[in-house]
Structure 1
Amino acid sequence: MIPHGRPTLDIHGVAERAGVSPSTWQRRHHAAFAAAVKPLPGSARPLIYDAAQVEAHLEGKPVPALPESPHPTDLLTDAEAAAVAGVNASTIRADAVNGVMDPGMERHGRRWWTRAAAEARAARPKQYKGGTPGRKDKQPRSRRPDHRVTEVAAELAAADAGRRAPVTADELAGVYQVSTRTAERIMAKARATRSDP
């Protein structure tokens, strides 16, 4: 997390502030720096540091504490935003790409989202593909009637009355552009509707 309004530095920026090359920094100064200044929570690849804490360390001053209270404009990683929103990190990334939530911002080679955007995502109702969890009614979902069944029932009745040749699965497969097996199922349903009282 990058706290609200705090400038940040990666290790190359830290070395630049110290006036040395990154390799010299790693060799001569990094161990003492890492003991005194911790990377910002959640940062990885690259590790990033609070600029005010870096400056204090380089000047030999006590390292100031980071703000503790959350702020709407804190910047969160996908994992941190997901924890606030109550979803997976992959959902945050997908929602951002699909325009369902704020696209976030690029900083230090990775994407960040404001706490406010994550909280807005948390407030959005969840969408379920099935029934609502905990629902009491266990009735199956109603399906639209299949017009083919009605049509085939009429053709079967006509065949029984001698007004047409017998109905076959091969004929129905050609008419409805389905497999013979599907045509047989349509015929079975049509016969069942005719035998219903």
Structure 2
Amino acid sequence: MIRAGRTAVGRRELADALGMTWPTFRRLKPHDAEGFPEPVSSEGALVLLWDLEQITAHRDGRPQPALPPEEDDEDLLDRREAAVVLAVKPRSIDSYKTDPRLADHVVVVGGVEHWPRGVLRAYGATRGTMTAPSGRPTGSGDMVPRDLLPGRIAELLDADPAVTAAHAVDVLGVSTSTAQKHLQHERAARIAAQMHTEPGLRAEAAADRLGYPPALRRSAVKAAQQLHDKH
């Protein structure tokens, strides 16, 4: 994470801070040297970021300033870290991040999306609370904006893999056909992802591991197999 009040840089900015051209940086890979400051990116991140204060101190031969140890609402968290705060899987963040409560606060550092810890906590506290737009009578159509619906469906599945379309209708105010379509799509995507993670795993077995009851997964299993076969 990027601690509050600190600046993080990616590889190209790191090269600039070290006074290296990009080709020289790529050839020498100074960040791999012993004693070089550790990245502040989350574990397993594909794009690495470093704390600029630590980088300049290392460059100048000064002691590296420690990162603040306490959590702060202004800390910037990437996708994996945001998932920990919200107690969901990282792929759920891909759906949630279109919600204005997160989208309006995204901060891109080194090409990586981050969100303030305080914003994530506030989002988590209100996640799942729905209010119908004013002036829309009950039964007049889908009550959740279309672009936010995948995130809401993902939340319901995170909370209960056996969630039914009827429950989604009650909670989200969408039509039965819309709830069925989106639940099938999300279950299929998760089944296919499980199959991709574990080659040789059959769609039915993946659905079992994910906790999807047989009566609710038939269409999703078929769709997941098609998704898997395409890749």
Give TM-score scaled by structure 2 length: 0.50
Whichever residue aligns with residue 45 of structure 1, its letter is L
| Contact 2:41–2:47 (8 Å) recurs in 1 | no
Residue number in structure 2 paired with 1:96 = 97
Instruction: Kindly indicate which of the two structures has a greater share of residues assigned to helix.
Output: 2
Distance 2:91 2:119 in 1: 15
In structure 1, the partner of 2:36 is: 36
Q: Is the 8 A contact 1:9 1:51 kept in 2?
A: yes
SS in 1 for 2:95: helix
Contact 1:71 1:115 in 2 (8 A): yes
Runs of 4+ with >4 A deviation: 31-34, 125-130
* Structure with larger Rg: 1
Query: How many residue pairs get matched?
Result: 133
Contact 2:57 2:63 in 1 (8 A): yes
Residues 34/107 of structure 1: CA separation in 2 closer, same or farther (3 Å cut): farther
User: Over aligned residues, Cα RMSD in angstroms?
Assistant: 2.9
Give, in angstroms, the shift of residue 24 of structure 1. 1.7
* Aligned partner letter, 1:113: W
Q: Which residue of 1 aligns with 2:122?
A: 120
Corresponding residue number in structure 2 for 1:46: 47
Aligned residue in 2 for 1:9? 9
Measured after TM superposition, the shift of residue 4 of structure 1 is 0.6
Which residue is 2:221 aligned to? none
Structure 1 counterpart SS, 2:61: coil
Question: What's the TM-score once normalised by structure 1's chain length?
Answer: 0.58
Check the 8 A contact 2:73/2:118 in 1, yes or no: yes
**Percentage of pairs with the same residue:** 27
Call closer, same or farther: CA 1:29–1:57 in 2, change over 3 Å.
Answer: farther
Aligned partner of 1:163 in structure 2 is none
Letter of the 2:17 counterpart? R
